[in-house]
Amino acid sequence: MKWISFPKSATQPDISLLGGKGAALFHLFSSGFSVPDVFVVTTDAYERFVQQSGLREKINLELIRKVFNDMRWEEIWDTALRIHNLFQKTTMPDDLCDEILQAVAERSDNKRLVIRSSAPDEDRAAGSFAGLHESYVNVSGEEAILAAVKNVWSSLWSDRALLYRQELGLDVGSSTMAVVIQELVEGDSSGIVFSRSPNDKSEMIIEAAYGLNQGLIDGDIEPDRWVINRENSDQIRHTPPQSREFQFIRALHSGLKREKLEKEKVAVPPLTDRQIKEVADLGISLENEFDAAQDVEWT
């Protein structure tokens, strides 16, 4: 396939082709970690879309209306809106649509998907792009999949993303985007592990909530939080939320829905002591694998 990359075919994951998330997932797959079924719509596919459709030229025209670094917030907002509208009005090439849908059918047919941004500069050391680009959870059906891919591409040019790139002094004209497509895994609980606490490098932090991760990531659900001794994975302290009332789960057709927790879960943390140790050990293993502190979503 020309515009799609699979973990088994990428012996040396290339961030410029796969983006930060895609390259990291391929690395984990090749190292034997448990990774949900995944493939990447590469940055070459994005470039094919914007070049063949004439979008690249139109985007560049928007960016030269005024020196980008001199644009005020409201000017960036207007620019982002115009670029977003250009994406919505532009049709994806048939060969690109066919290849994406073929990859879905071969690996994830009839499965619910997570479609996520994976920009090459997303995980750069100088800044964090977390939450700036779009991701979609519980996507199914050909039209919805293709629309989600295009919306992820479009989010490269959101006002938030443009403002952040302006703050970092990045060349926005060279921005590009890969898209990660994964099988949706529904765990009883999900969370994030920070392999090194920003406050104390001898500690790690685990956050967890019932259901899927999106509520925790978006700030809609307050998680249970554990501070862990990195040396032996012992718990130092546990901070429960003010209340455990809701969880996010897969909606029937698409997206997520918030529902009340079952009574027996309200008074019980989403992780057992054994599971806390397993997540802590995973955090250490990932840090050793990448030779750097990691913050990783898990379920």
How far is the C-alpha of 231 from the C-alpha of 1, rounded, in Å? 45
- Express each pLDDT in 169-196 by its tens digit: 777 888 899 999 999 999 899 999 999 9
How far is the C-alpha of 246 from the C-alpha of 240, rounded, in Å? 14
Is 35 or 1 the better-scoring residue by pLDDT?
A: 35
> Which fold does the domain 189-298 belong to in CATH?
D-amino Acid Aminotransferase; Chain A, domain 1 (3.30.470)
Q: Do domains 4-183 and 189-298 have the same CATH topology?
A: no
Architecture of domain 4-183 in CATH? 2-Layer Sandwich (3.30)
Of the chain, the end-to-end C-alpha distance in Å amounts to: 30
pLDDT in the model for residue 167: 82
pLDDT in the model for residue 123: 54
Contact 118/22 with Cβ under 8 angstroms?
yes
Look at residue 165 and tell me whether its pLDDT is greater than 90: no
pLDDT in the model for residue 226: 98
pTM above 0.85, yes or no: yes
Look at residue 93 and tell me whether its pLDDT is greater than 50: yes
What pairing do the DSSP bridges indicate for beta strands 135-139 and 295-298? unpaired
The angle subtended at Cα 253 by Cα 247 and Cα 258, nearest 5°, is: 15
| CA 226 to centroid of chain Cα atoms | 23
How far is the C-alpha of 166 from the C-alpha of 67, rounded, in Å? 11
Q: In the chain, what are the domain boundaries?
A: 4-183, 189-298
